[in-house]
A = this chain, B = another copy of it.
Amino acid sequence: MNDMEGFEIRVEIPVAWGEMDALGHVNNIFYFRYFETARMKYFDLAGILEMMRETGIGPILAETSCRFRAPLRYPEVIFAGARVKSIGKSSFVMEYIIASDTLGTVATGTGVIIMYDYRSGVKVDVPVITRKAIEIIEKKGMPGEGGSDL
């Protein structure tokens, strides 16, 4: 789908009837669930989930936002996409999209991810291996401090 160009990581999700609320549209919280599903697919492919299991260093969602562009109803199959827009010292910024063949772009969103040592309870630098993995997924050097050095 054209709307998802630039999003290398995509998941296909069937909207559940029960995700609609009393106004007859998919409730706002499920857009964030769809974003999360795309984010986790991204984390999985970038080796972040495996790193977290092995080292205790993993991601924390520090901020997120959604702009609702079109109402969504059951039945519909949507695609959720995630990409990394920029990487900083200890965090990176993601962009999300939800789109369908029939509706085009349904929503767009952002997320700020902080890397965190779950064992010592402190914020840590984005590991080099994670930075590399993200650059490979995005197929280009990432903007952001330090990003151009890799």
Contact = CB atoms under 8 A, between A and B. Distances in A.
A128 interface: no
Interface residues of A, number: 34
User: Does more than half of chain A's interface fall in helix, strand or loop, or is it mixed?
Assistant: mixed
Contacts of A21: 17-18, 20-22
Copies of this chain present in the complex amount to: 4
A66 B17 CA distance: 19
A12 B61 CA distance: 24
B22 A29 contact: no
A29 B18 contact: yes
Interface string A40-51: 100010000000
Contacts of A11: 14
A67 to B, nearest CB: 5
